[in-house]
Structure 1
Amino acid sequence: MNASANPPLIEVEDLGVRLNTSRGAAQAVRKVSFSLLRGETLGLVGESGCGKSVTALALMGLLPDSAVVSGSVRLDGSELVGLKDADYRKLRGNRISMIFQEPMTALNPMHTIGRQVAEPLRRHKELSAAAARKEAIALLDRVGLPDAARRADAYPHQFSGGQRQRITIAMALACQPDVLIADEPTTALDVTLQGQILDLIADLVDERGMAMILISHDLGVIAENAQKMMVMYGGTVVESGPTAEVFARMGHPYTQGLFRARPRLGAKKGTRLKTIAGTVPELADLPAGCAFADRCAIVQSRCRAALPPAVEVKADHQVRCLRTNVSMAELA
């Protein structure tokens, strides 16, 4: 099927976000571009402070009023950048929805979970209170909340972390959105619950034909759940492409560093994980050139002069580095 017969559901081109901080203006997101078809999942990976969540909030129209957004975000061909908040509210929770990182802060402690899951149905689908409650209970049951009909009248603090995460998933999916953003949806959960929640999200995305953006710092989660991936650092995408291709040929030193730092099964007891020296720069301190330069083992003076262009190392696999020919073995 050609592109014209199956156009992207969401297209992002040269997205930029400038925030006002206590230290002045900070370019939190720089030149982020991607597109997604229905049924596709894009993995967004990187350390905390790399711009992943700011990118998600930009797509949701949830940035501070003082933020300056540039570039283009199109949903089904309609431009979202510059959209009035009243118009964005018609889309948010309806056509584009988000599972937030911490369910306890995403849920209102003053309202029952049944009321909170029913709210988007009443607002966007204009269901009656009784119909919205019935649908909310069905959603809670679908995401695996035990005894959903009875517990719909309970409050968030009466549930475990895993159950609260299931509730936020039900809220995000209530209106069957076209695009689902899952921001670190399993951070606070143990490994068993993490697998259950990720499987549940994947099943629902497939069942409803959504496009999904899965944000994580865990390469394993991205490898198992995303067809495409982007690695972010310093507010920009340093590597992107089909997930299998990126893992087969990690072209950016930062991607290679993340891969080496992962825990390994079978490692001897007491084996220390390899780390990436240094820390992620503050948004207000981002250099003009490659943001990873101060932590990079193969940095050259030209790397600091200007932001490196994205180079295509294979079809659809791009790396924003001047030295894409350096292998992991040389960096180890």
Structure 2
Amino acid sequence: MPLLQADHLRVTLRTHRGSAAAVQGMSFTLERGDTLGLIGESGCGKSMTALALMGLAPDNATVSGSLKLAGEQLVGLRERDWRRVRGARIAMIFQEPMTALNPVHRVGAQIAEPLVLHRGLTRRAARARAIALLERVGIPEPARRIDSFPHQFSGGQRQRIMIAMALACEPDVLLADEPTTALDVTVQQQILSLIRALVAERGMALVLISHDLGLVAQNVRRMLVMYGGAVVERGSADEVFGHPAHPYTRGLLAARPRLAHRLVAHRSERLPTIPGSVPELFSLPPGCPFAGRCAYTEAPCFTETPPVIELPGTHSFSCRRADAVLGSTDLIAASA
């Protein structure tokens, strides 16, 4: 039985303009120790997927489909039942720790709270555990800093505190939503190394969400490429990065700056770009969400749902013009 299994998970938002699907037909499975990456531009549905997995979708959202944790159906759970799961069995490192941490409570109290609620520890035992967690994530002098407020820590330290909170109850699944945003490269590597070590040490499943392709390539075994709320390509990290199939994935990889490119390129030379921008949820075509921005677009792409094309291994992508796309090597060369 998979640890976490999503089948045709859908998040629909109700607004004054009508309803729109923020996540469409998300499906995946996670076993213990699995690492899964979600990539895509801002607005493609990555963070909304994470919120749905945590039972934290907005009040104007309807979550449908299936989401099972060790066989237990989570879609449709009452809030009091979600509170039993959230933090204890599924935990999340949020994108911006300064908004996720409560500014008027000391960090020690925030780390200890889930230990009291979910593990039944006494306040004294939870405090001792919180100090140990702060030490584990690299906060200096944890016994003294445990009574400090979030604003008294640096950005990298606040991110470490978020990790300590997420790991307090040793969850089965860890969601990391842009865990290194706005951090310098050295701190990024320290935090990612810490997450990798803890996942390996505790056998947790990891879902890493990022628009940083290099970060995902180095830290996950499997990945999903999202666009317009839908998964357009999936496979192992080696398969997707080694042989990108969907035009959107190829465009993302071709647009990455490279050190070798920067050393030889003229200052006026521009990186390849994907034309246009991610459309609003209300403006998505009923067919392929990438229609219009894709160089292979034909009229039926706007109206016909693209079929899933199976490639060798676990690799697949959704495209109704697969023959033309796979027969082209220009974008593959650009992303190699």
Could you tell me the TM-score, scaled by structure 2's length?
0.95
**Matching of residue 133 in structure 1 with residue 127 in structure 2:** yes
Which whole-Å deviations, capped at 9, do the CAs of 1:35-94 have from their partners, x for residues lacking one? Answer: 011001000000000000111111100012331111100000111001111101000000
Quick one: which amino acid aligns to residue 231 of structure 1?
V
Question: Aligned pair 1:330/2:330, yes or no?
Answer: yes
Amino acid at match of 2:129: E
Stretches of 4+ aligned residues off by more than 6 angstroms: none
State whether residues 8 and 27 of structure 2, in contact with CA within 8 Å, keep that contact through their aligned partners in structure 1.
yes
| 1:21 pairs with one of 15, 24, 32 | 15
Distance in structure 1 (CA, Å) of the matches to 2:132 and 2:266: 47
Select 1:230's aligned residue among 221, 224, 231: 224
1:159-308 paired onto structure 2 within 5 Å: 159-267=153-261, 268=265, 270=267, 271-308=269-306
Unaligned runs of 5+ in 2: none
Q: Secondary structure at the match of 2:311?
A: strand
1:110 corresponds to which letter in structure 2?
A: V
Structure 2 Cα separation of the partners of residues 34 and 177 of structure 1? 19
Q: Could you say which residue in structure 1 is the equivalent of 2:99?
A: 105
SS in 2 for 1:295: coil
- 1:313 matched to which residue of 2? 311
User: How far off is 1:182 after superposition?
Assistant: 0.2
Question: Using the alignment, how far apart are the partners of 2:139 and 2:233 within structure 1?
Answer: 38
Contact 2:15 2:60 in 1 (8 A): no
Query: TM-score, normalised on structure 1?
Result: 0.96
CA distance in 2, matches of 1:46, 1:65: 25
What is the distance in 2 between the residues matched to 1:18 and 1:42? 23
1:170 and 1:306 mapped to 2: Cα distance?
A: 46
Distance, in Å, in 2 between the alignment partners of 1:273 and 1:23 is 37
Alignment correspondent of 1:88? 82
Equivalent of 1:31 in 20, 25, 30: 25
User: For residue 133 of structure 1, what is the amino acid of its counterpart?
Assistant: R
Deviation at 1:22, TM superposition (A): 3.9
Partner amino acid, structure 1, of 2:169 = C
Deviation at 1:274, TM superposition (A): 1.4
Q: How much is the aligned-residue C-alpha RMSD, in angstroms?
A: 1.2
Gaps of 5+ in 1: 1-6
CA distance in 2, matches of 1:324, 1:22: 37
Partner residue, 1:3: none
**Match in the other structure for 1:4:** none
Identity %, equivalent residues: 61
Which amino acid is 2:285 matched to? P
Number of residue pairs matched by the alignment: 326
